[in-house]
Structure 1
Amino acid sequence: MSHEPILKYERLGGYLPTLLKEDAISCLAVHINYICVGTYNGNVILLHLDGTFIQRLHHHSKKVNDLHIDETGQHIASCSDDGTVAIYTLFSSFSTASSQSSSKSSNIGEINIYNYYNAIYCVRFQEKYSFRRERIFACGGLTGQFSINRKGWILDKELTIHEGEGPIQCIQWKHNLVAWANDWGVKVYNVDQEQPITFVERPQLCPPLELSRCQLIWLSDHQLIVAWAHTIKIVSLDLTQSHSEANSGAKSSTDNLQRKFSGAFGSKSVGKVTAVISLNYFIAGISAWNEEFLCVLGYRPPREKQSDALETDYPLPEMHIIGIDGMSISSVRLPLRGHVRLRASDYKMSSLRYTISTSNKRNCQWQFDHSDDTQQEERIASAYEAALGCVTYLCTPKDVILCRVRGIKDRVQWALDRQHFRKAVYVALEDPNALKDFAYSYANVLELYLSALITQEKFQEAADEINRLFNGKEFNALWEKYVYIFAQRNQLSAIAKYVPTLTNERLPNAQYEMILRHFLENDPEKLVQVLRKWPKPKYERVKEENDSESPYFQEREEPLYDAFRWIRELEAVVRQRRILEVDTDAISMETACILEPLAELYSSTGQYDQALRIYLTQGTLCFSKEHVFKLISEHQLWALVDTKVANLVQLDTSLAVKLFVTQLEHFPIVQTAKQLEPQEKILLEYLHQLWMEQSSVYNCERYTQIHDMQVALYVKYAPDSLLTFLRGNFFISLEKVYRLCDTHVPPLWEAMICLLSRMGQERKALELILTQLQDLQQAIQFSQKDARLWDYLIELSLSSSEMMQFLLEAAAKHHVDPILLLTKIPVDMELDHLKQTLIEILATYKLQLDLCCHCLKSFQVDRMELMRKQVRCYGQRWDHRSRSLHGNRLYKRSFACTNAATASTGRVWRSISKCGSLEPCNKRSGAFFVINFQCQSEPKSKLQNLIFSLNFISFGTADALTD
């Protein structure tokens, strides 16, 4: 499968056909506003971008070899075989010419002509030439001299940078760096620092200048592309190294520069060839779109035909788009005029880049083909985005070709020619207005695409595309057309869900009626889905005069369909089907499929009672169970369902139970439980959810009878959930429940143990744990809080050495005194690993004591530090308006009291100083000290005394543990 080309090629017209009759083109330069063409007769001709004539400049007597236009378009440089370089100033007033150049007056401004007496092959302005105080251009030619001319306000300075290595073929500037090519290779020079940068050697087996020229392009500030013969080299420059060398040494003079330059490039090179791309054709021209993609004009030399050695085959020039890695993306052969007589050096390429807006970029997204080579498609898409805003002019002596990105029309035409209708649609969708003057409008392209899908019977895909592409009121006619087309193919089910229903995009009512008719006859189950998706008919109730009991509906807005007519029709269909059914008590599936859309129509017209009646009648055959409960809640239909608990449960048990539990004011517990008694499992589920979610309301003496019923249901259907209920309920009969659990097969021992514990029969409960559950761990947890139960547990365990061993291991972990256990062990009982068990018990007990002591000591330190801070704070506040000496005295007394209090523990303090007294006050296990400071302050002082209370924990226990 061939990929879509990126570029389109147009032959430039206008004045060019007239020019080519009497002359031939030798070079070309482009600007965003005009084109500049050089000819073999020495003319420089200015043209509009479409080729129309502007101005002819004739200041050379021989062939014009090169042209260059500065960024502003106000200056043009041309060079010729006659050895002259002409600098034209456009649209500016006459300025004084330099003494080294001859000045001629022209209607386009100042023209400066520089004579070098030998053929000049190339000339280039330095970047931002118009904005510089010292304007610089570089040129070179046949003699091999590379010269830089500096044009100042008064004088022009000319400096020969290099010579003696063959003719200069190409020059390119980048800021203060200039690169040029001669027979030896490519050199880069820093004009500001006056020092060489790097040297790139000429490829081997390279043809002479007459056959193939070197092409130079600056890819970025530090990357240079050197395209020569069949090789592309990418050179990276390390400008930081160049700057450091320039700053370390002093500036050399011009004479020294000439001697230094001849051997400098090998030793002072700061450039590195990072990539080399080898091609199987000669490079006649090159343009860089960005740092990833290149546009290359390829030239293949003539070759003899294999069939006839006397005839020669002249291949057409080729335009290649390649990646920076050398991978080919696309290639096109160009039928240029007179290509059989041309060499690679006769082709010239000049590129122009202009900025495009973000919106235009969004309108130029690449649409992928449905091909297996997705990677290549992605590369083509990236290259297409890189080419946006880039225009390339290709010229030969008798032809000028404009190369630019293919527009919407071109891409749509290409896709239609190959019947890629989907791609044509999505390309046109980027900018439908671009097809105004095209053979096909956007609507025509859409119809071609949809017709192809329908012909292939891809109805669902066609419906999806219609929904995606038909946006807006202007597509109503197409909507109407394709709804009829789908109806003719009996495929309305595919497009029905997409039909527009907004007020400003509505179709004729007949089409909506047609869709409903289709579903009623072919797919009744989906009829209700369509009715719910479409907007409800908006009606309002209006009461007749003198008849408040018979309201009727008045239409508020024109609906999509006549709801009342459809209600009558569906009622007739239901009656007809019920007559044909054998079992009149049961509803068939076919009838249920009609009843549900009928209920939906009742709801849409406000007849909610009729709709709910149908839903409850359907029972399990109802397809919209959640919709029923939502209808009840939204429209407050509680009065219609409070006695229909069984019907709601039949619809959906979980939703019904949830409704009963959350709406207790509408579904009282006693009445709801009574209606659910015949269905015991559902009743248990209801009561269980009631207990879990509404226990604050349900757990009361009022519902004791229901609690007993719930216990019986737990025992019968869910014994595992009984224990949770017993632990939280306080209104059940414990003896009755115990008998119920005891008679169950097997007995519910966990519940019985819980009940015995609540009845105060802990010993019997403990016996059940040991005998029936045989869970000693549970027995320990059950009895550890009661010393009498623990003694009873030890008595029950004396008969088994395994139980005593387990009790010893668990004693330390459950804070039980191991001495009590050891003293009761019979003398003749043998215990395994008794010594090791005792060591572990003692080690664990000692660890607990150590942790307790260290915690108490840490608490003492923190307490003392906090007390000091608090006393110091009170002392400073006390002395706010008093003398500082008095404040210091207060702090010292307070600190003395603190030291005295912590020096001794367990004593009764009487007095400690003249300034205060200490009185003990017992409070639980600690001592509460009240220190009363009687301060000798001034009479006017607001604070007369300070009562400071410190709550100390007694340290007698800690001391004992430490001892």
Structure 2
Amino acid sequence: MPGQVPVEGDLHQDDSRIATPRADACGSNTSQTDSPPQTPGASGASPKQVTEMDRQSHELGTDHQKNRCEASGDADDTLSTAVSDSHEPAFHETCLLASVQDIMKKDSASAMAVSRTHIALGTQSGMIYVLSHSGHLEKGFRFHSAPVLDLVFDTSGEFVGSAGMDGIVAIASLTTSEQYQFDHQRPMRTIALEPHFASRSSRAFVCGGMSGVLVYREKRWFGYRDMVIHSDEGPIWTTAWRGHWLAWATDRGVRVANATTHDMITMIPTPQGSPRAELARCSLVWRDSHTLLIAHGDTITVASIKTRESTTADDEIRAVIPGMPTFAGLVTGLNRQAPEPSEYVEITDIFQLDCVVAGMACTPDYMATLAYVSDGTACQAPELRCVNSQGEELSSDVLEVVYEGRYRCNDFHMKMSVEWKYDPVVQQETRRPVFYVASPRQISVLRPRDERDHIEWLLEHDEYRRALEALEALGSAPAKAMGFDVAAIGREYLMYLIDEQDDYAGAAALLPLLLRSDKAAWDSFVLLFLERHQVETILPFIPTQDPELSEVVYDLVLVHLLQENQALLLATLTTWPSHLYSTQAVAAAIHDKARNSRMLLECLAQLYMADRQPGKALPYMIHLRDASVFALIREHNLLIDVQHRIGTLVELDQELAGTSEPRHSVLMPLLVQYTHSIPIERAMQQLQPYPWYEFLYLHALFERDASLVTNYALDLLRLYCRYDYAKLMPFLRSMSSVYSLKEAYAVCEAHNYVPEMVFLRGRSGDLRGALQLILERLRDVEMAIEFVRQQDDSELWESLLAYSDNKPEFIRGLLEHASGEIDPVRMIRPIRHGLIIPGLRSALIKIFTNFHLQHSLFCGGLAVLERDAHERGMQYYASLQTALACDAHTPCAMCHEPLLQLSEYASYKPLVLYLCSHTAHRACVTKTRPDSACLRSSAYAAVPLHATTTDMYNRSRASTWFGSAPTELTVASHATNDDKLKLSGKQAMLERADRDAWIENRQLYRLDVGLHGCPICARAYRERLSDESCVDSL
């Protein structure tokens, strides 16, 4: 917030955010100020002393004023700007009333102290009043008989200490009867209580005054013990005690000492040119436990206490040359032979202001100074100025003080406290400083202005926009908690812009932001703008939803637009939904003024369109030659409404296309699509004056459905002849059964379209006439050949050959293109000897080349066939010669038992071997093979069977292998010759019987097993066929 001092943090803790670099230069504010004369009786001095002090004060103020004017000629302008009405103060000032008002009526303030709970007020009569922060009297003490010059609270706020002109130093408890009084016989100017005084048994404090002695008092078993810390440097004007450090101010400067050991570590001299303490006291404020702020006249010095890292000669305490504003050393009164203290003081910053500092307080973010300004003759109202750590002035507030011209600098006292206050922005209790400024007749309380004060100030000064921006940043809940009605403020701002600033445009732009969804407010402001003829200004901001205004408001807006701006009326009707206003009322109002106004006719069309009455809007749009007419007809199926105005639509289509014969018409697709709305007969009647559109219409119908143009086939044929010859032949071919061939031939003949005439003659059966047209009028041999080839008529071939006789170009054409259909010999033989035929050589070469190519193809195909047959035969022969591995353990493919039984008791089982590499017992094959188990071979038995199965078995039981020849009998091998002779005839009969049995056995095997093939392969084949059939079914 402009001019407002930020508030945060504990006011008595270190502020790590304020940088304290070593500084050797003063602040930028270098102009000095005067010190006004002191009011007589304010300090308790004698009349003679007061007269002399007044004279010196007047001279000092004149010198300061002269120096300030020379340094800055703009000082008066700056001051006047600071106190002007346009400057927002940083603090909210109130005057403490209640009991304070009664006290000030009969006495005047001379000293003040503030704790977190109480205010101690010392008066000229010597009374000490303890007040609450609201100004109500809670306790009073009568310790002094002369003005109270200093008051102080301990850190807990339970004890208050005072020092008076009568030499009395008193300490009293606010909660108990504990009190202490000490009489020093000389005026006492200052007192400081030790930290945590209430909880310490020592009850130590320091005091000093006009005697020039700084006394340290500490409570012991038998009473207080006195100790003089410092003396012989003039009066002790001010003291400040925090932590382990004690500081006091004399005429020579400010000294800092260890409060425990009382060892002094430095002395900071008073800046040259500073007024005497009687005129402007020195202010000492501890910013933290190691940083001291010193205000002397118009100079603020920042001193930091640091610990030495080493004790070398380079780290000795450096003296400060008086009068030099830039230094990094410190002043010490110690002897060089004395041991150096472990701490030293470093001046980190020096700020020179353009006023005398009458009081000072410190917060974590800034220094608050009570600025005393005098023009040399009278005191001006004091100012509370805030300065940051870089010496930049943050704010300056002029205090409202009664009788301000009578007071001197030391008549003002400023103290600071803190208070807790609920902040609706962060929604929690926050701490903020409170400054109390006491003058002889009043106590002013200054609190940093919060957001509520800022907004109220803005409203008081007609800064509505900034106030609303601040409220918007806060949010609705905090703003409401502060008691602000954002809507009411917004309406006040709008009326201020309208009535005071005459800014209708600015007010209209803010309407959506300020009125939001307030329907009643919207209605009233829209009517106000209409009343003041500002309809064009407010129109862009009138809401159509959320909120939706009254219907009469929208009607009035449209009526005003009808009277003032018809173009804007059309734009508004285009954007506003039709349910907002009364369509009939607005249409009636427009219709009365429409007549020949194109703009108003567009308004009527738009009005009916917005009201979902396209049928009523269509005549206006056709009259206006609107390009969206056809889209409107298509979208709402309005063609039936203009079924008698097709000619008008054609003219509109021509205007839109920019030509009388557009290639792409917008109208034709509508007529073709909605033939149920406008019959073809009615459309053709109205399209007769427009042959191009008649052509487009019939052609579109033909492409959609040829049956639609059956009655207009000849018309379309004529139109194709006129506008699109390329589509004529396809039309003749597809519609040959519809139109009259004779009439069509006449039309084509009239246009001399010979190919179409050829087609029509061929279609009518006059093939020779068609061929004659090709040969005589077109003289196109390729076309003639193609025509004859399509007809496949030998007579036509003869006619073509006869016509080609003695015509070199036709002979060459036949040789080149018809050699495949006609024997070339027939074409070459009739050629008359000596006839010159251009290109004959190339034609003959082409014929021979074609024959040679055919012969090569036949030979190549035969060679491929023979090679493939040879390779297949070799593969089959190689498969027949493939050996099959078999041993005694090889299992039968059917029963899975060994093929050969090695046991001596095992009977022999005949085996069957297939060329597919399967081997099985013959009995297994015969037993398990059903009739359809495998494919039957087409081979037949070479030897007929004459014996039964039993006979053949009996004959072959002596055989050991069905595939081997009959073995010799064992008896014959051991018989004698005689026996052999006797048995020769019998043996021959037996051998013959065995051979017959062996042959019959082979025939039986072939019938039972050999002709059926391998059963295992047959089973796999059947399963494969079954799987394929299942897949096909799926």
Q: TM-score, normalised by structure 1?
A: 0.46
Higher RCO structure, 1 or 2 (CA under 8 Å, sep 6+): 2
Bigger Rg over Cα? 2
